[in-house]
């Protein structure tokens, strides 16, 4: 018994998430589409993996981080277990329920206007300054987790999530997902490529993100970054937690292993989310819906009976006030699938899709 490593209940539940086949979608596209259910980690997202690794990489009694929500929730949960204080800085384009969850977990939250990383008021930059200020006051050692640049993020997916997925599905032909910090797609993608070079690794990118052009053309640029059009505070997409205007340290470790990129628009994500709920029984968030759209597009480019894997990042309950809110969707100039019969564009031309 003394040889058994004792960890908290929260930590013990991180990882080993199931790989689930989307049966209806797979039958429709004639390829096997699987989703790795990272939403079933104890904190509700795959960010639990990175949060645990990054927290272990740094010491301090006050944890400070800038996050769109999911990493903060994971960190706040870990801080509760360890008796550490937690401060989280959020951009204001996230669902309000994330802030309420963070505060319920004991975190102190600050909300700032969304901005480019070059802006000193970007949420990551504000979090960094708060950590510096706390250390200057000297009452407690503060640690800035720095999820975008802390390569413990990449390491945990390269060393754990990638091998876990490979054990579950050694015959996959393509791995498809979006990028937030870049750690997940870089870590998993690089591991899979090193196991079998023929595995296609494809990035899914939302409107306003520069990564699509980085992968496709070698330059990190988005039309929204044009000087005459650049806004101090940008709200280019309703997708939360994905899309970047730079290559982070984490993404840099795997960017050369990404074969291509796909741009997915907001309406496609909304349509797919509603389709998944109706046809697969999965209630997913915005980034997960974009991932599945990307997986379908890649599937249709591959031979029949190919196997494609993507990630379900989180579930719909963290997106009730925005992505799953009819009024919000309409305010973005988009259509609400419940008001009319909408079929996701990536499958609407497939025979039999309208009958589902």
Q: Which residues are catalytic?
A: 47
Distance CA 49, CA 52 (A): 6
Distance CA 117, CA 289 (A): 25
Question: What is the Rg, in whole angstroms, of the alpha carbon atoms belonging to the chain?
Answer: 20
Q: What is the DSSP string of 16-84?
A: ---EEE-HHHHHHHTSEEEEEEGGGSTTSSTHHHHHHHHHHHS--SEEEEE-SSHHHHHHHHHHHHHT-
- Look up residue 334 and give its DSSP letter: P
- The bridge status of strand 19-21 relative to strand 32-37 is antiparallel
Residue positions counted in the chain: 356
Phi, psi of 64 (to 5 degrees): -125, 135
Cβ partners under 8 Å of residue 296, min gap 6? 25, 29, 33, 272, 344, 346, 347
CB atoms within 10 A of CB 103: 13
The secondary element (H helix, E strand) that includes residue 328 is helix 326-331
How far is the first Cα of the chain from the last one, in angstroms, to the nearest whole number? Answer: 53
Distance CA 64, CA 270 (A): 32
275 neighbors 328 (Cβ within 8 angstroms): no
Q: Which of these, 17, 38, 35, lies nearest to 25 by C-alpha position?
A: 35
Distance CA 86, CA 143 (A): 10
Beta bridge partners of 65: 88
Distance CA 288, CA 114 (A): 21
């Amino acid at each position: 018994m003394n040889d058994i490593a004792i960890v908290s209940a929260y930590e013990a539940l991180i990882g080993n998430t199931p790989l689930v086949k989307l049966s209806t979608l797979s039958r429709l596209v004639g390829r096997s589409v699987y989703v790795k259910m990272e939403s079933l980690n104890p904190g509700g997202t795959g960010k639990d993996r990175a949060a645990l690794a990054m927290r272990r990489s740094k010491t301090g009694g006050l944890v400070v981080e800038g996050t769109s929500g999911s990493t903060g929730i994971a960190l706040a949960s870990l801080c509760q277990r360890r008796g550490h204080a937690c401060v989280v800085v959020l951009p204001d384009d996230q669902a309000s329920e994330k802030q309420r969850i963070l505060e319920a977990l004991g975190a102190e939250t600050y909300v700032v206007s969304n901005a480019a990383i070059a802006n000193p008021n970007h949420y990551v930059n504000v979090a960094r300054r708060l950590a510096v200020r706390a250390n200057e006051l000297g009452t407690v050692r503060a640690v800035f987790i720095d999820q975008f640049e802390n390569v413990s993020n990449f390491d945990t997916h390269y060393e754990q999530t990638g091998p876990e997925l490979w054990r579950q599905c050694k015959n996959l032909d393509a791995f498809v997902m979006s990028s937030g910090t870049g750690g997940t797609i870089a870590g998993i993608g690089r591991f899979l490529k090193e196991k079998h070079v023929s595995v296609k690794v494809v990035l899914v990118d939302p409107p306003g993100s520069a990564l699509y052009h980085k992968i496709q053309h070698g330059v990190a640029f988005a039309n929204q970054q044009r000087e005459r059009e650049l806004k101090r505070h940008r709200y280019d997409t309703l997708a939360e937690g994905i899309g970047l205007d730079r290559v982070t340290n984490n993404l840099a470790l795997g960017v050369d292993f990404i074969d291509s990129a796909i741009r997915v628009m907001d309406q496609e994500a909304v349509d797919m989310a509603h389709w998944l709920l109706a046809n697969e029984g999965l209630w997913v968030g915005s980034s997960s819906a974009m991932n599945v759209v990307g997986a379908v597009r890649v599937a249709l480019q591959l031979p029949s009976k190919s196997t494609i894997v993507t990630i379900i990042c989180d579930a719909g309950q963290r997106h009730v006030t925005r992505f799953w809110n009819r009024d919000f969707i309409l305010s973005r100039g988009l259509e609400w699938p419940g008001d009319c019969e909408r079929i996701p564009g990536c499958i609407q031309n497939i025979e039999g899709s309208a009958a589902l």
